Amino acid sequence: MTTPIPRTAADWRRVREVKLEVLARDPFSVDPAQYPGVRPEVVVSWRRSMLAGVDPSARTYVVDEEFRPRTRLAAVAQPVLRRLEDEISDLNSWGFLADRACRLLTLVVGDFPQAGRVHRQRLCPGMSFGEDVMGTNGLGCAHETQQAFVISGTEHFRADSEILTTTGVIIRDPFTKRYAGTLGVHCMREYGTAALLPLVVEIGRSIEARLLGSRSDGERELFDAFSAAQRRYRDPVVAVSKQLCVVSTRARAVVHEADEELLRRIAGETGSCGRKTRRTLSSGASVTIQVLPVRQPRGEFGAVLVLRPAGSRPECADPAWVSPDPMDDFRHSLARALGQPVLLTGERGCGKRHEAKAALGGGIAEFDGALAHLDPENWLHRLAEAVGEGRPVLLGHVTEVPPELVASVTGLVAGACGPVVGTAADDNGAAEVRESFPVLLTVPPLRERRSEFGALCAALLAGAGEEPVTPAPRAVAALLASDWPGNVRQLRQVLASARIRARGPVLDLRDLPARHGRNSAGHPLDEVRAAERRVLLAALRESGGDRALAADRLGVSRATVYRKLKRHELH
């Protein structure tokens, strides 16, 4: 059973007693399993803090006096953070943005009664919130574990932070996949709610989308080529240009910082046709380097380098080396499960039917449960015939099968000797039919499929007309910033409309609808509100539309929920 986050005065007193017991021990002897009343990840953080020599009674901050907060992350995130005060005031919170070393870049404080206490702390750029300096805290734990984190009250290592709830969410540059910094929204501990961390996660995603949008077309082309090479080859892959050096996971074992200049020189000396060369890296490894040039603006160069041990043969991609992705995981699970009936669920418009057809291949017999009532006897007869022949069967809208056919359909699905895939928008209705599918998989919504978004846009445009049209990278970045409640179906509609406006073979920002196009980039507050809207909608879905229950889940008052519903036009 998962230990909950402490939320009450009694919880915080209990956690403090455990912490004092842990602090009295040798850190090497601390075992999280011995303290079931405290989250194990928190006890592990306490142990790391003790080993780092952090003083739990300290009240001062460590500041890097030579720190200069001028980073790409700070510049890109600033418009979002400047407009964040309004949104976080309702949660009595303040926001932090830290760099890759967990040093403070930017602080924003909402207008709320306790705001003066925050200002009196004299927080400034360069302050370190690393776990090895400040002990257990939201920003430091997220930085240390590279995962979203929330620390509540007495879970903090330092006593002066026990009055707070702190959060931390990792921000990665979607272009390089590298850790760019950490975003945190903190508050007095009594105001810590379940809504806080999901909101910070969504705001972090908005900043990541802006990071991608800030890249030049040349940088995006280089990254696209790098991603394609990672999928194609099992070998180490490196992308280099004058400003960038992006290294794949496998390449990190053989390519060190000392090799970057050598690889950059090789790329710069290569013409447009590519070449192969043999070099010895700083590690002593002898490698054959295949140079794949990437088109760049005039005066620039860029190339993807595929490295192989000298004398080896090229190998094809292995799925284990592809970056983790929700759709990759889903498709892999679906392919493995096809030996038995599989039911695909998910939000409306997320592509359940498309994924089912792609997995089943050719010769599919497709049946729509929503149309069975038109001719029940004939519909059931054709379904029985297809199942009896062992053909791949796609059974759509299984929850809408008429009640009089449920028993027969259940028997056919359970006894099918060929692959059967069903689809359902949700898990309501026709329980017997659903339960005849032993495997249940959920198709990820479009907002979670960022890695394939560009390719999906290109594919949808390719099928939208006779003349070929490709999306410009900045148009893809603008579309990526939306939350897409209508999923793939909504994206297809937006692209079809934009395609009509496109005046050439490239679909650009000017061709997109106003809410997605050039004007949308000037309103970072929209992204923050979209993040809040998604959190609110998720709570309403989980509570079955009960607003009082949604308020309880989010840890806010019912009045706040009603105010937010009105703001987002959900009332």
265-282 pLDDT, tens per residue?
A: 888 888 777 888 888 888
Query: In angstroms, what is the C-alpha Rg of the chain?
Result: 27
Query: What's the length of the chain?
Result: 571
- Its pTM stands at 0.52
CB 82 within 8 A of CB 174: no
Q: Give me the phi and psi of 461, to 5 degrees please.
A: -65, -40
Task: Look at strands 342-345 and 420-424 and give their pairing.
Answer: parallel
Q: Long-range CB contacts (< 8 A, 24+ apart) of 310-319?
A: 310/278, 310/286, 312/288, 314/233, 314/235, 314/290, 315/233, 315/234, 315/235, 316/232, 316/233, 316/234, 317/230, 317/231, 317/232, 317/233, 317/234, 318/234
Tokens found for residue 101: 């070393």
CB 235 within 8 A of CB 308: yes
Q: What is the pLDDT of residue 517?
A: 58
**Four-way CATH pick for 524-568: 3.90.1690, 3.30.590, 1.10.10, 1.25.40:** 1.10.10
Domains 1-214 and 524-568 share a fold: no
- Of 316, 265, 307, the closest CA to residue 286 belongs to 307
* Strand locations in 346-475 (E): 365-368, 393-396, 420-424, 439-442, 470-471
Q: What is the pLDDT of residue 140?
A: 94
Q: What is the pLDDT of residue 474?
A: 79
Q: What is the rounded distance in angstroms from the CA atom of residue 266 to the CA atom of residue 276?
A: 10
SS percent in the chain: helix, strand, coil, step 5 = 50, 15, 35
Q: Give me the phi and psi of 286, to 5 degrees please.
A: -95, 125
b/e string for 418-448 if b means 16 or more Cβ within 10 A?
Answer: bbbbbbbbeeeebeebbebbebebbbbbbbe
Map residue 336 onto helix, strand or coil.
Answer: helix
Class of residue 180 by CB neighbours under 10 A (exposed 0-12, middle 13-18, buried 19+) = buried
Q: What is the pLDDT of residue 317?
A: 37
**Sequence-distant (≥ 6) Cβ neighbours of residue 59 within 8 angstroms:** 158, 160
Q: Give me the phi and psi of 447, to 5 degrees please.
A: -65, -15
Q: What is the pLDDT of residue 228?
A: 83
Domain covering 1-214, topology:
Beta-Lactamase (3.30.450)
Q: Which residues of the chain have pLDDT under 50?
A: 119, 314-324, 519-525
In this structure, whether the domain defined by 449-511 belongs to CATH 1.10.10.10 is answered with no
- Of 361, 417, 343, 433, the closest CA to residue 384 belongs to 417
CA neighbours within 13 Å on the CB side: how many for 554?
Answer: 32
CA atoms 352, 357, 359, 364: torsion sign: positive
CA atoms 492, 496, 497, 498: torsion sign: positive
Taking the domain 217-309, which CATH number applies?
Answer: 3.30.450.20
Q: Specify the residue for token string 């895939």.
A: 421
**Sequence-distant (≥ 6) Cβ neighbours of residue 497 within 8 angstroms:** 513
Class of residue 240 by CB neighbours under 10 A (exposed 0-12, middle 13-18, buried 19+) = buried
CB 350 within 8 A of CB 443: yes
Map residue 439 onto helix, strand or coil.
Answer: strand
Domain covering 326-446, topology:
Rossmann fold (3.40.50)
- Sequence spans of domains, the chain: 1-214, 217-309, 326-446, 449-511, 524-568
Q: What is the pLDDT of residue 529?
A: 64
Q: Backbone dihedral region of 196: left (phi > 0), alpha (psi from -120 to 50 degrees) or beta?
A: alpha
CA neighbours within 13 Å on the CB side: how many for 358?
Answer: 12
Q: What is the pLDDT of residue 519?
A: 47
Q: What is the rounded distance in angstroms from the CA atom of residue 101 to the CA atom of residue 126?
A: 10
Chain Cα centroid distance, residue 120:
35
CB 517 within 8 A of CB 510: yes
Q: Residue 385 gets which letter from DSSP?
A: H
Alpha helices in 305-375 (DSSP H): 326-337, 352-360
Map residue 375 onto helix, strand or coil.
Answer: coil
